[in-house]
Structure 1
Amino acid sequence: MKVAYVTWDGWDDEREVMLAAWLGADIEGAPVRWDDPHVDWSSFDAAVVRSTWDYVHRRDEFTAWARRAGAATRLLNPATVLTWNTDKTYLRDLGVPIVPTHWSSIDLPVWDEYVVKPAISAGARDTIRTGDRQQAEAFAVELESQGRTIMVQPYLETVEHEGELSLIYFGGQFSHAVRRNAMLAHDMRDGVAGNGKFTLRDPDEDQFELAERVLGQVAEELLYARVDVVRMPDGEPVLIELELTEPYLYLKAEFDAPDMFAKALADLLG
């Protein structure tokens, strides 16, 4: 089988290990830029979206591409999932505990620190963290003036000492989890490179149960998923984000992860 590894021209340190694992599963992988106008997507048995990390300020173009590619070949994850998942307003639809979120610049709650970001973003682009309520409100107004939906959340101190936990799934099966150290500085408007420091970690039972509940809300068949959770000050695990579009998968943290991904892909393609 010939499968497109959908990527961009920038950094991606998981590409080679992924392609090697695919080859071991008799899948010929070819790195292809998502926005290359010369690609014939119908020439592939499938296209797997991976490091398309330049789509954020071109989301309409990206989702239109996903629909075209999905009509020409099997797109993983599907175009409907990518369209839904690239706008974080999906968090309102899942019916699971999430980080408290205010969706307007008006009447901000009183919190010690604020995180303000647009609903369509990645890598902490156009995001600030501040203890100044007026600054938070002003930045939220600025984003809204650009026609962007905004999210205002409290900065959780638990992130500093416990970190975020990312649970990674392939073909609906749990693969591994990593603890990610806090990486949010006070002004991230230009975004960040990389994913900070991380360590392999076993999820606690309540964190695992939350991740399973989150994935149970998605009807479509998924090749990959990353569920990011954090604890509230009272200890309750809550969802930060459900990454179904182009998540970094921490493949180097778990020896068997690349092969598990390749097997999930082979099983989906039959």
Structure 2
Amino acid sequence: MTRIAVLTPDPADPSYDGQWQGVLQRLAAALAPAGLAVEASAWTDHVGDASGLADYPLVLPLIVWGYHRDHGRWVQACETWAEAGVRMLNPPSVIGWNSDKSYLGRLADEGVAIPPTIWAEGVTQADADAAFDRFGTDTLIVKPRVSGGAWKTLRLSRGERLADAPEGPAMIQPYLPSIETEGETSLLFFGGELSHVVNKRPVAGEFRIQVQFGGRYAALPEPPAGALALAEQTLAAIGEDLLYARIDMARGPDGGWLLMEAELIEPDFYLGSAPEGGKRFAEAVKARL
């Protein structure tokens, strides 16, 4: 068996106790048939010194949950790993910039369709009021540019006072009603090839599709019309050699697909909904080794 490392949350952070271990077990079960033995290692143990990762032929940063709440150390860690030449996929350079959602603006400049977005350095009530008029909508989404799992993400209605606004760099977008009716669709790629497609829908009255908010996931037999084209355009615009990528999208008011996120750090592969994807991921990992 070839030993590979999977980076996991800070053991001092109790937020994810009892959660990440199940994800690790699913990854280990998927990789074992390919002769790969998974060893967990907290990413926070390697922020300033990468020597503990040097002996692994491959390091996967797949469960680095909580990095968004410790972003300064995360950026430092990515620089440490890059300088030390850690054999990490996706590479430290990519998972560094992918942690700040301002990359969506750069992809938009390359022609990738994203929701209309206002980039703000701290969101005020005046910013929100102006955004309602600018977007011609009665509902907004406000979220930090560095976030994960809908952390500090708000849905705000016209006339509602802004409370608990995210501090620091943030983004404001019009709410997409299609999230409630059609959900969000994710295309999973391993080694540059499409593996599987999963649709994610919120429970009634909710706008967040994450499982911790009751989100319901279902594998689709193939990408909906037009979805694959947007995903491939996104990957081409990113222009990196990626081991894995999850491209999340939703329909805009005109029915066209809009990129919500290109998750290149610690995406849920949704192996519970699409278990065959585990074999495809293992094949992609094996090919890199």
**Could you say if the C-alpha distance between residues 171 and 187 of structure 1 is closer, same or farther in structure 2, counting changes exceeding 3 Å?**
closer
2:203, 2:243 → 1: CA distance? 27
Contact 1:123 1:192 in 2 (8 A): no
CA distances 1:5-31 after superposition (whole Å, capped 9, x unpaired): 111253123311211222211222111
CA distances 1:59-98 after superposition (whole Å, capped 9, x unpaired): 1211221232342421111111111110000001112000
Q: Secondary structure at the match of 1:240?
A: strand
Q: Which amino acid aligns with 1:181?
A: R
Q: Which amino acid aligns with 1:7?
A: T
1:203, 1:125 → 2: CA distance? 28
Q: What is residue 85 of structure 1 aligned with on the other side? A: 98
Q: What is residue 124 of structure 1 aligned with on the other side? A: 150
Q: What is residue 196 of structure 2 aligned with on the other side? A: 176
Give the alignment's TM-score, normalised by structure 2. 0.83
1:195, 1:42 → 2: CA distance? 39
1:184, 1:89 → 2: CA distance? 30
Contact 1:171 1:224 in 2 (8 A): yes
Contact 2:202 2:214 in 1 (8 A): no
Q: Secondary structure at the match of 1:216?
A: helix
Contact 1:6 1:51 in 2 (8 A): yes
Q: What is residue 74 of structure 1 aligned with on the other side? A: 87
Q: Of 170, 174, 181, which aligns to 1:150? A: 170
1:57, 1:184 → 2: CA distance? 29
Q: Secondary structure at the match of 1:267?
A: helix
1:24, 1:131 → 2: CA distance? 50
CA distances 1:131-175 after superposition (whole Å, capped 9, x unpaired): 135634x65xx53xx4x1111111111111100001111111101
Contact 1:164 1:182 in 2 (8 A): no
Bigger shift: 86-95 or 4-13? 4-13
Alignment length (residue pairs): 261
2:37, 2:207 → 1: CA distance? 42
2:140, 2:72 → 1: CA distance? 28
Contact 1:2 1:45 in 2 (8 A): yes
**Could you say if the C-alpha distance between residues 183 and 78 of structure 1 is closer, same or farther in structure 2, counting changes exceeding 3 Å?**
farther
Deviation, 1:255, is 2.8
Higher relative CO (Cα under 8 Å, sequence separation at least 6) belongs to 1
Deviation, 1:51, is 1.3
1:195-234 equivalence runs, <5 A: 196-201=215-220, 202-234=222-254
1:187, 1:26 → 2: CA distance? 41
CA distances 1:197-216 after superposition (whole Å, capped 9, x unpaired): 11111212311100011011
Give 4+ residue runs of structure 1 displaced > 4 Å after superposition.
183-188
1:198, 1:149 → 2: CA distance? 30
Q: Which amino acid aligns with 2:42?
A: R
Deviation, 1:230, is 0.3
Q: Which amino acid aligns with 1:171?
A: G
Q: Which amino acid aligns with 2:74?
A: F
Runs of 5+ consecutive residues of structure 1 not aligned to the other structure:
none
Contact 1:34 1:52 in 2 (8 A): yes
Q: Secondary structure at the match of 1:205?
A: coil
Deviation, 1:192, is 7.7
1:184, 1:103 → 2: CA distance? 29
